[in-house]
Amino acid sequence: MDGVGSFGAGRAGSTIDPIAFAKQPQTILRVLSWIFSLVVFASIVNEGYVNMGSERLHCVFNKNADACNYGVFVGLVGLMACSFFFLLDYKFSSISSVKDRKKAIMLEIGFSGFWAFLYFVSFCFLANQWSRTTADELPLNQGADAARAAIAFSFFSIITWAGLTVRAVQKYLLGTDMTLFTTEHMDGGAPTQPYPSNSPVGGTTEATETYQSPPFTENNAAPTYQVPIY
55 inside domain: yes
pLDDT category at 105 given cuts 50, 70, 90 is very high
Helix (H) or strand (E) holding 149, with range, is helix 144-174
Q: How confident is the model at residue 183 (pLDDT cuts 50, 70, 90)?
A: very low
For 43-99, the pLDDT digits (tens) are 999 988 887 766 788 899 988 999 999 999 999 999 999 999 999 988 887 777 788
Q: What is the per-residue pLDDT for 174?
A: 81
Structural domain boundaries, residue 143: 23-180
Contacts of 76 (CB under 8 A, 6+ apart): 37, 41
pLDDT of 182 above 70:
no
Helix (H, G, I), strand (E, B) or coil at 123: helix
User: Does 36 reside within a domain?
Assistant: yes
Please tell me the distance from the alpha carbon of residue 189 to that of residue 165, in angstroms, as a whole number: 30
Top-confidence residue, 43 or 143:
43
Evaluate whether residue 213 is within a structural domain.
no
Residue 228 domain-assigned (yes or no): no
Residue that wins the pLDDT comparison between 208 and 142: 142
DSSP label at residue 189:
P
Say if 11 falls within a structural domain. no
pLDDT band, residue 184 (cuts 50/70/90): very low
Q: What's residue 206's pLDDT? A: 44
pTM over 0.85: no
Among the listed ranges 65-69, 95-99, 128-132, 203-207, which one has the minimum average pLDDT value? 203-207
